[in-house]
Amino acid sequence: MNVTRRTDAVLLLVALVWGSSYLAAKTATAALPVMAVLFARYVLSALACGALVAFRSRRSWTRGEIRVGSVLGVTQAAVLVLETYGVAHTSAANAGLIISLTIVLTPLLDRGGGRRLPGTFFLAAGLCVAAVGLLTAGNGLHAPRLGDMLMLAAAVVRAAHVTLVGRLTAGRRSDPLHLTTVQTALGSALLLPAAAPSLPA
């Protein structure tokens, strides 16, 4: 298998896992409090990242990685709180469709350096938003649901998060695993107070 096909296969696998995560979140939040689900997700991720860092141990940490990872950890936690509460109050299908608007919103936010977006982008973006609106409406137009609005807010914050990732890591020698470890560890700490009342004694 050549590099292009292998890359496409990996991206397809990522898309499948990413899409199925909303169904998993919907199932989990139907049985457990949202904050407990989020905290468990973060702790497992932090432990996995920590184990990988310990196993790999190729280079030392930098202060820049900790600073950048901390900022991104806050925005990532905000995204996942909005997403998880959103999917708890809407369908998994709607959640996946609405969060896909991140792809449209990110270029709008990331317009530094005087870059201009072509007119075709706005045409395509308009069609995308209209399509998502029609698909999430289901059997007919209705007032926006709470879950749908939370997912829309999550899409905006996620676009800001992706933009920050690009800007804060540009020109820096940052280890993606170190950044992810900081984000998951900080997220675990931020969510612990809210999750504590629903955790087993």
For residue 87, which of 143, 29, 38 has the smallest C-alpha distance?
29
Residue type, 33: P
pLDDT in tens, 102-152: 989 998 888 765 678 888 888 988 998 888 888 887 766 666 789 999 999
Q: What residue ranges in 17-62 does DSSP mark as E strands?
A: none
Check if the beta carbon of residue 80 is closer than 8 Å to that of residue 21. no
pLDDT of amino acid 114: 64
Residue type, 40: A
Whole-prediction pTM: 0.84
Mean pLDDT of the chain: 87
Check if the beta carbon of residue 184 is closer than 8 Å to that of residue 42. yes
Quote the percentage of the chain above a pLDDT of 90: 43
- Does residue 1 have a pLDDT over 80? no
CA 14 vs. chain centroid, Å, equals: 13
Q: In the block, which residue shows the tokens 């609005």?
A: 149
pLDDT in tens, 69-108: 999 999 999 999 999 999 999 888 888 889 989 989 998 8
Q: How confident is the model at residue 57 (pLDDT cuts 50, 70, 90)?
A: low
pLDDT greater at residue 200 or residue 94: 94
Check if the beta carbon of residue 182 is closer than 8 Å to that of residue 65. yes
